[in-house]
Structure 1
Amino acid sequence: MTDSNTARRTVLAAGAAVLAGGTLAACGSDADKPGTGAGNASAPQTGGASPAASAPGAVAEPLVKSSAVPVGGGTVIKEQKVVVTQPTAGSFRCFTAVCPHQGCLVDKVENGTIDCPCHGSKFKVADGAVAHGPAVKPLAEKKITVSPEGEISLA
Structure 2
Amino acid sequence: MTQPTSAAPCACGTSRRRLLQGAGAVSVAGASAALLSACGGRSSPSAASTAADGALVVPAADTGVGSSTYYRDAKIIVSQPQEGDFVAFGSTCPHAGCAVSEREGAVLVCPCHGSRFDPATGDVVQGPATTGLTVLDVTVDGGDLLVRG
Common fold: TM-score over 0.5: yes
Q: What is the SS of the residue equivalent to 1:143?
A: strand
Within-5 A mapping of 1:97-116:
97-116=91-110
Q: What is the SS of the residue equivalent to 2:73?
A: helix
1:78 aligns to what?
Answer: 72
Cα distance 1:53–1:136, how it changes in 2: closer, same or farther (>3 A)? same
Look up the equivalent residue of 2:102 and give its one-letter code.
K
Deviation at 1:81, TM superposition (A): 0.8
1:90 aligns to what?
Answer: 84
- Across the two proteins, how many residue pairs are aligned to each other? 99
1:152 aligns to what?
Answer: 145
Is contact 1:130–1:136 with CA below 8 Å preserved after alignment? yes
Instruction: Write out the 4+ residue segments of structure 1 that deviate beyond 4 Å after TM superposition.
Output: none
Is contact 1:76–1:109 with CA below 8 Å preserved after alignment? no
Cα distance 1:51–1:72, how it changes in 2: closer, same or farther (>3 A)? closer
Deviation at 1:140, TM superposition (A): 0.9
Relative to the length of structure 2, the TM-score reads 0.61
**Offset from partner CA, 1:68-114 (integer Å, 9 cap, x none):** 10211210111111100011111000001000000000112231211
- Aligned-pair identity (%): 37
Distance 2:84 2:98 in 1: 29
Relative to the length of structure 1, the TM-score reads 0.59
Aligned pair partner of 1:135 in 106, 115, 129: 129
2:53 aligns to what?
Answer: 53
Distance 1:51 1:72 in 2: 26
Cα distance 1:61–1:138, how it changes in 2: closer, same or farther (>3 A)? closer
Q: What is the SS of the residue equivalent to 1:67?
A: helix
Q: CA RMSD in A?
A: 1.9
Look up the equivalent residue of 2:84 and give its one-letter code.
G
Higher helix share: 1
